[in-house]
Amino acid sequence: MFIPVAAHRLFSTALMGLPGLLIWALLLAPARAGHLPIDEIRLPDGFEIAIFADSVPNVRQLSISPAGTVFAGSRREGKVYAIVDENRDWQADEVFVIASGLSMPTGTAFRDGALYVAATNRVLRFDNIESQLDDPPQPIVVVDDLPSARQHGWRYMKFGADGRLYIPIGIPCNACDAPAPYGQILGVDPDGQNRAPYVSGIRSVQGLDWHPVTGEMWFSDNGRDRMGDNVPPDEINRVGRQGENYGAPWCHGGTIPDPDLPGASCDRFAPPVANLPAHVAPLGIAFYDGDQFPEAYQNRLFVVEHGSWNRSTPIGYRITMLDFDADGAPVYQVFAEGWLGQDGDYWGRPADIFIAPDGSLLIADDSAGAVYRISYTGTR
């Protein structure tokens, strides 16, 4: 949705009085029609951005097969896509709809020839999918009893190095003490067996990855709304051990007790490894482990910031990087921006990031219905 600047403050004020799901329905309306102005995206020297696919409505989490087929989920559209680049020129030749009519099938993961799809209350598997893109098979239900609440009920998921599938279950509210498995990241075998909580105390996790060197799980978490423009921070968390609790909904940013749920001490929760500005809405994250970018980018964490709604001045709508200095302090900087204009209007909202096999970045934009490719063409 492209909001005229003169109406932006009025629109934001009106949003704050609306129910959460209605707010998201408004914010995720399609972007303005016509040419996508990717020349407005600002990148470090030596990098360039191009459109890989521009007809993937409401595209969310990306995954890719060894053969190069890009799969993508969606939220509002209820569809799952396969994006095919037959001649490997990084321009999509065809977009197939693998499934439709699902409940917010945001998450996708690919393993052993099968596409896994996470809808609100279940995980589906499409076997041998690449040989049947034009006539997809009926999916096999892997998990069928996840919580069905729709608020924060869009599921991101990813396979870990241990071969298990990890699925965050956000709490179904702005801030409330919801019963398990709400507020947990679940681990499950590919066949749906041996499900167990991995960590707890999460609010709305839409991105996770594993550090290429340490093997530790990291995840982004969206902080609660309606505490002001600058409080509480959004979070990047690092899992030190299975079973840790990260504080939601009682504690925010490691030190801020929730005003509506008093009585809990923040000292008993695992603190974030880094706090981000409030309301930037971090979704997909990815450690860079490709070989296309300069050496300085190795193992840096890329963070997709979907952008604010509960803030008088918009923030986010960009891709940032997180690193640490010699003393272990977070170093946070912008990598790609330009989807949000200086007047507060936006034409796109990055939603996920994926390291492609050639070392470039694929970026999903659920507002513009596009997938971009960021590549390095400078001198290493």
- Residues 217-251 have pLDDT tens digits of 999 999 999 999 999 999 999 999 999 999 999 99
Superfamily of domain 5-30+45-376: TolB, C-terminal domain (2.120.10.30)
What is residue 262's predicted lDDT score, i.e. its pLDDT?
86
pLDDT at 146: 98
Which range has the worst mean pLDDT, 4-8, 159-163, 287-291? 4-8
Cα dist. 98→37, 83, 259, 285, 356 in Å? 29, 10, 44, 25, 21
- Which residues sit opposite 123 in a β-bridge? 118, 143
Of the chain, the percentage scoring pLDDT greater than 90 comes to 89
Structure tokens at 336: 């790609």
**What's the rounded mean pLDDT across residues 285-298?**
97
DSSP per-residue codes, 282-310: EEEEEE---SSS-GGGTTPEEEEE---SS
Confidence band for 5, pLDDT divided at 50, 70 and 90? very low
* Mean pLDDT, range 352-360, rounded to an integer: 98
Residue type at 288 in one-letter notation: Y
Q: How many helices (H) and strands (E) does the chain have?
A: 2, 26
Q: Is the pLDDT of residue 378 over 80?
A: yes
At residue 33, the pLDDT reads 38
Whether the pLDDT of residue 123 is over 80: the answer is yes
Average pLDDT over residues 101-114: 98
Write the pLDDT tens digit of every residue in 76-89. Answer: 999 999 999 999 99
pLDDT tens for each residue of 294-328: 999 999 999 999 999 999 999 999 999 999 999 98
pLDDT of 263 reads 85
Residue 214 has a pLDDT of 96
Rounded to an integer, what is the distance from CA 177 to the centroid of its chain? 24
Q: Is the pLDDT of residue 19 over 90?
A: no
The 3-state DSSP class for residue 132 equals helix
Over 50: is that where the pLDDT of 158 sits? Answer: yes
What are 282's strand-pairing partners? 305
Angle between helices 5-15 and 20-27 (to 10 degrees): 160
pLDDT band at 379 (very low <50, low <70, confident <90, very high): confident
Cβ neighbour number for residue 242 with a 10 Å cutoff: 12
